[in-house]
Amino acid sequence: MLIVDDDALIGAGLLQQILETADDIEVLAACDGVQAIKEIARCRPDVVLLDVRMPEVDGPAVLSSLGEQDSPPAVAMLTAFSDEEDVARALGMGAAGFLLKDTAPEDFAHAVRLLASGNGVFSPLIGRSVIDGYLGSHERRDACQRASAEDPRWVSLTLREREALTLLSTGLSNPEISRKLLLSTATVKEHVSSIIMKLGVANRVQAAVLAHTLYPRAASPDFSC
């Protein structure tokens, strides 16, 4: 995984030291957006923790550049405060999560593992505002008012996919969904991939948001680490 932060204490220091204590996580660091783009292309990390605000090339610009990759890493944005505008912008670009820099040290390793397994992660304070921020910035409020259970994207989902989406939207991981539906984790992973493709979204976080906004009776997501 790669940590990108222009604050040496976080990017190259404390956070890196915390994550390196985990036997299953290999940690690299970059001090700015330019270096981050080079390191991501060179090392192809599975997970990137990306600072939102950096000089010259900021976090969203780095995130945008990843859209050109065939298999981009899972990216969680790092920020010192909860800003709905930043959250909405990053979600629209395909971010899989948003973490406050004062997140408890033990929670960072857990978040990295969740990201690596294809799950989304949000610090609790951000989780409470993420839906409203995403809706406002992407003009989804009108779409929500127009949508119904007859939306073609919802209709295109199989019954199992709808069940999986509903559980995904409550924040469950693939193994947790598999236990609920009595399916193998591999089968759930296939369902989630199909859901993402049929809904035309970038990742499971956007799928959960869409489920909540277009089909509120089918989903009630709770984003938190």
Q: Dump pLDDT digits (tens) for 63-97.
A: 888 877 778 899 998 887 766 677 777 777 888 88
Contact 29, 49 (CB under 8 A): no
Which is it for the CA torsion 92, 95, 98, 101, positive or negative? negative
Q: Among 76, 71, 108, which Cα is nearest to 91's?
A: 76
pLDDT of 215 above 80? no
Between 132 and 36, the more confident residue is: 36
Query: What is the rounded CA–CA span in Å between residue 133 and residue 40?
Result: 28
Average pLDDT (201-223) is 64
Portion of the chain with pLDDT greater than 90, in percent = 11
Residue 44 binned pLDDT confidence (cut-offs 50, 70, 90): very high
Using DSSP's 3-state secondary structure scheme, residue 50 falls into strand
Helix (H) or strand (E) holding 177: helix 174-181
Question: Would you place residue 49 in the very low, low, confident or very high pLDDT band (cuts 50, 70, 90)?
Answer: very high
pLDDT surpasses 50 at 224: no
pLDDT higher than 50, residue 225: no
* Helix%, strand%, coil% for the chain, nearest 5: 55, 10, 35
Rounded to an integer, what distance in angstroms lies between the CA atom of residue 179 and that of residue 160? 13
DSSP conformational letter for 11: I
Out of 2-16, 25-39, 92-106, 110-124, which region has the weakest mean confidence (pLDDT)? 2-16
pTM: 0.67
Q: How confident is the model at residue 10 (pLDDT cuts 50, 70, 90)?
A: low
